[in-house]
Each structure stands twice: as structure tokens, then as C-alpha cells.
């Protein structure tokens, strides 16, 4: 990746045989960066999966270069097949760019409320283009007086797709189980 000055290799502990990870400026143009990397690797007939995300607390962008068929969607589908699950009994929850391929797939998905606005906008645009709007639920924080962030958003979305699970989180009087 020589010549792409914005890339800074992550620590050896964050690398492995199937993944090369870089730090990137938080507000880098990820689409432009991905295009440049694909062009460089295409000359060597290397096909890869580029996953971009942001570490908000550290104010840094993240880029993972993976084998072409590696990623959360492929892993989730393999797990679903192995366990006998299908789209009707699977819900995926995410909040960042590294979740995008599943958030915008045909699997029911929840984008929790703490997702960055750029992730929200990109997910909405992708599901709109692919006519999969009904597969992406945006947590709003309108569930059981919770804010829709993190696990609260997950619960909100799971109940959206599978209302019958409400009995798992409420007692007989409708109070939240503690």
C-alpha cells in the first residue's frame, strides 16, 4: 500500500494471516480510498473485501483488508446453515461500517441508535437502492423507556421483528425483568 500516505499499519497483534488492518484518518473519503486500493490490487489479480469503520472513542478510522469471501455476511450465512436457521428466525444488529454488508442484506437487521449519521445514511441508501427497506429497522429509542443505543437498540429491533419475545423481557404485570 506504499504511496497511500493516509494508511498507517495497525499493531502486529491486530494482524493475522487473513487480515491486514490499517488506521485511517477518521474523516477520510472511504469510497475513494477503497477504489484506490482495489485498483492497486487488481493489477496483481488480487480480489479482496475492504471493510471500513470508525472507532469513535479513539477518533480514528479503521480499514481491514480481507479475502474476497471473508466478512460478517458470509460468516453469518455459514453459521445459519450449520445451526439450521433461516431468514425468518435470524436478526442481525450492528452500528458501524464493518456491519454494513449484513445491515443491507436480505437478513432482518437492526441499526442501533448510536450508529454514526454517515453509517445510517449509507445503510438507508443501500437498502433503498436494493429495495430491501423492510429488512432494516432503525432503532429510535421508543421502546420501554430506553434510548435505542447499544443493547437497548438490539432489544427494540428484535421485538420489532419478533413481537412474541416481549414475554421474555417482561413479567406478568408488564414490568421489565431485572
pLDDT tens-digit readout, 62-81: 999 999 989 999 999 999 99
User: Structural domain of residue 144, as residue ranges?
Assistant: 72-169
Domain co-membership, 77 together with 162: yes
Whether pLDDT at 175 is above 80: no
Whether pLDDT at 174 is above 80: no
Domain co-membership, 52 together with 77: no
178 found inside a domain: no
Whether pLDDT at 157 is above 70: yes
Domain co-membership, 85 together with 133: yes
Counting the structural domains of the chain, the total is 2
Q: Which of 20, 40, 67 is the last residue of a domain?
A: 67
Whether pLDDT at 21 is above 90: yes
Q: What is the rounded CA–CA span in Å between residue 160 and residue 119?
A: 21
Dihedral sign (CA 137, 142, 145, 150): positive
Percent composition of the chain: helix, strand, coil (DSSP 3-state, to 5): 40, 20, 40
Domain co-membership, 141 together with 157: yes
Amino acid at each position: 500500500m506504499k504511496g497511500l500516505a493516509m494508511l498507517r499499519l495497525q499493531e502486529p497483534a491486530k494482524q493475522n494471516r487473513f487480515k491486514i488492518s490499517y488506521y485511517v484518518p477518521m474523516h477520510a473519503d472511504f469510497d475513494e480510498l477503497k477504489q484506490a486500493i482495489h485498483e492497486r490490487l487488481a493489477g496483481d489479480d488480487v480480489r479482496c473485501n475492504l471493510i471500513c469503520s470508525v472507532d469513535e472513542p479513539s477518533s480514528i478510522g479503521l480499514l481491514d483488508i480481507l479475502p474476497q469471501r471473508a466478512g460478517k455476511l458470509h460468516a453469518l450465512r455459514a453459521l445459519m446453515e450449520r445451526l439450521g436457521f433461516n431468514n425468518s428466525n435470524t436478526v442481525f444488529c450492528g452500528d458501524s461500517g464493518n456491519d454494513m454488508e449484513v445491515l443491507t442484506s436480505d437478513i432482518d437487521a437492526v441499526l442501533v441508535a448510536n450508529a454514526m449519521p454517515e453509517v445510517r445514511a449509507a445503510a438507508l441508501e443501500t437498502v433503498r437502492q436494493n429495495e430491501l427497506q423492510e429488512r432494516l429497522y432503525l432503532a429510535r429509542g421508543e421502546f420501554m423507556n430506553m434510548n435505542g443505543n447499544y443493547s437497548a437498540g438490539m432489544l427494540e429491533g428484535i421485538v420489532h421483528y419478533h413481537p412474541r419475545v416481549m414475554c421474555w423481557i417482561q413479567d406478568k404485570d408488564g414490568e421489565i425483568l431485572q
